Amino acid sequence: MQIVVIRPGDSLYQIARAYGVSVADIVQANQIPNPNQLVVGQSIVIPIVGSYHWVRPGESLYSISRQYGVPLSELIRINQIRNPSQIQVGLRLYIPPKTRLAKDVGAYIDPRITGANSTQVVDEVAQHLTYLPIFSYAVDAQGNLTPVDDQGPLQAAARHQVAPLLVLTNFAEGTFKTEIATTILNDEALQDKVLDEAIRIMDEKGYKGLDFDFEYLGAANREPYVRFIRKAAARMREKGYFISVALAPKLSAGQIGTLYEGHDYQALGEIVDFIFFMTYEWGWSGGPPMAVSPINQVRKVMDYAISVVPKDKIMMGMPLYGYDWTLPYVRGGKFARAISPQQAIEIAARYHARIEYDPIAQAPHFNYYDEQGRQHEVWFEDARSVQAKFDLVKELGIRGFFYWVLGYDFPQNWLLIEDNFRVNKRV
């Protein structure tokens, strides 16, 4: 695959000719909502094997071979270059595809978001998934589990050899409740009740693992949470089930804040099979406009995680959504609207916005004015930001990556998975 960023005056016809593919192939691969109204700054993926490079002034075959990690002799052979010391500016060189690495890939699904389309959503992307954590069976203060409509996603997962994970949370009334977690984590009988019921459901419905997403625990629950996960891990291994936890994005062991203090990376990493590190929501619906998952911040979290958790247990988080903020941002004011990358492109086209790309955050963004004259700021994900995160996964040598959340996804993401990785199947 090759990523192309639309420039002023570009057309799909010109791009298709340059890469030797059809306009229809490009439109279908990217599900382009605006084929006759491309947005400047919009990124698209060209469905070819390998990629092309046009020689720029000052470049040599040697520098190009190093840039793409292709041996110089291979570059010369494939492109049938007779005089390697004299290559013309503008010459099109074919770059062969790199070896694809095997990785685990997960994606959370929340049936409250996908609704009646849950089964179809999973069917469409399941070939690219190792795990499907289903959000969520919420635990209440009495140790009961509030069920979720999981029948459709479970059936789809089974069809595609995807391991469904039952997600346990302390989620109630639209938020994570510290008090629920405190009650459960300090009562052995309630813990046993929760695990007994979770195992019953897993056995009955065909789940392959248990994922704990207990958030906002606070410092007082740090050790009790580790003990609970240790108990749960013993129960899961008796049954041959996976066990995982989802953890907040920390930069150090002593990071302050209710969200962070209850999550002990090192202790939990010694117990579970793998960890979903939630490396997103720097830009969030109630906060000021910024990239949801800026790669400079993601790298800092991963650097800390790798220092205390084995690499083969680390799953790096990626968002499949963006936010549309109404300006000016006022703390405690109107929350930003969650949008898919496809919706972001449609909004940019509708309001004739130009998409910019932040080189530090490695994320696209734009501004526009709506019909009421209100200014908006939009940050989202595109092919470039996804590829940057894939490059980080490969550089770090971790187990894999995962997404929050299905239902906002976009086609370039799945094409780029195919181009970069071989997806492990664990069932």
Identify the CATH class of 2-95: alpha beta
Res. 34 pLDDT band, cuts 50 70 90:
confident
Q: How many angstroms separate the CA atoms of 234 and 243, rounded?
A: 10
β-strands 92-95, 131-139: how paired? Answer: unpaired
pLDDT above 90 for 98: no
The answer to whether the CB of 218 falls within 8 A of the CB of 178 is yes
CA distance 109 to 124: 13
Superfamily per CATH, domain 102-423: Glycosidases (3.20.20.80)
Return the minimum-mean-pLDDT range out of 149-163, 234-248, 257-271, 407-421.
407-421
What Cα–Cα distance (Å) separates residue 47 from each residue in 25, 27, 231, 287, 419? Answer: 7, 10, 48, 37, 10
Helix (H, G, I), strand (E, B) or coil at 190: helix
String of DSSP letters for 95-110: EPPPPPEEEEEEE-B-
Confidence at residue 71, expressed as pLDDT on a 0 to 100 scale: 93
Using CA atoms, how far residue 409 sits from 117, 339, 390, 406, 414, in Å, is: 13, 10, 16, 6, 9
Active-site entry in 74, 124, 179, 215: 215
**408: which residues sit within 8 A by CB, 6+ positions away?**
113, 320, 321, 338, 339, 340, 341
Q: What is the mean pLDDT of residues 370-390?
A: 98
Close Cβ partners of 245 (under 8 Å, ≥ 6 residues apart) = 211, 212, 213, 214, 229, 263, 268, 272, 275, 276
- Rounded mean pLDDT, 388-400: 98
d(C-alpha 382, C-alpha 389), whole Å: 11
**Contact call for residues 203 and 164 (beta carbons, < 8 A):** no
Radius of gyration of the chain (CA): 23
Distance CA 61, CA 59 (A): 7
pLDDT at 13: 96
Nearest to 342 by CA among 18, 25, 31: 31
User: In which band, very low, low, confident or very high, does the pLDDT at 409 lie, cut at 50, 70 and 90?
Assistant: confident
On whether the CB atoms of residues 244 and 209 are closer than 8 A, the answer is yes
Domain extents for the chain?
A: 2-95, 102-423
Q: Residue 276: beta bridge partners?
A: 246, 315
pLDDT tier, 33 (very low <50, low <70, confident <90, very high otherwise): confident
**Alpha carbons 50 and 102: distance in angstroms, whole number:** 18
CA distance 243 to 235: 10
pLDDT at 317 over 80: yes
The band of 115, judged by pLDDT with boundaries at 50, 70 and 90, is: very high
In the numeric block, the tokens 């960023």 are attached to 5
Query: What pLDDT score was predicted for residue 1?
Result: 85
Closest CA to 194 of 157, 166, 220: 166
The pLDDT value given to residue 386 = 98
d(CA 88, CA 380): 38
Whole-number pLDDT of residue 152: 97
Asked if 335 contacts 296 with a C-beta cutoff of 8 angstroms, the reply is no
Summarised one tens digit per residue, pLDDT across range 183-199 is: 999 999 999 999 999 99
Are 49 and 39 in contact by the 8 Å Cβ rule? The answer is no
Catalytic status, residue 74: no
Rounded CA-CA distance 30/38 in Å is 12
User: Would the pLDDT of 359 be above 80?
Assistant: yes
Helix (H, G, I), strand (E, B), or coil: what is residue 142? coil
pTM: 0.95
Question: Which of the residue ranges 30-39, 258-267, 292-301 would you say has the lowest mean pLDDT?
Answer: 30-39
Tell me the two tokens of residue 353. Answer: 């916005």
Distance, in Å, from the CA atom of 301 to the CA atom of 252, rounded to the nearest integer, reads 8
Return the closest-CA partner of residue 317 out of 302, 306, 300: 302
- Residues 6+ away with beta carbon under 8 Å from 372: none
Residue 45: CA count within 13 A, CB half-sphere: 25
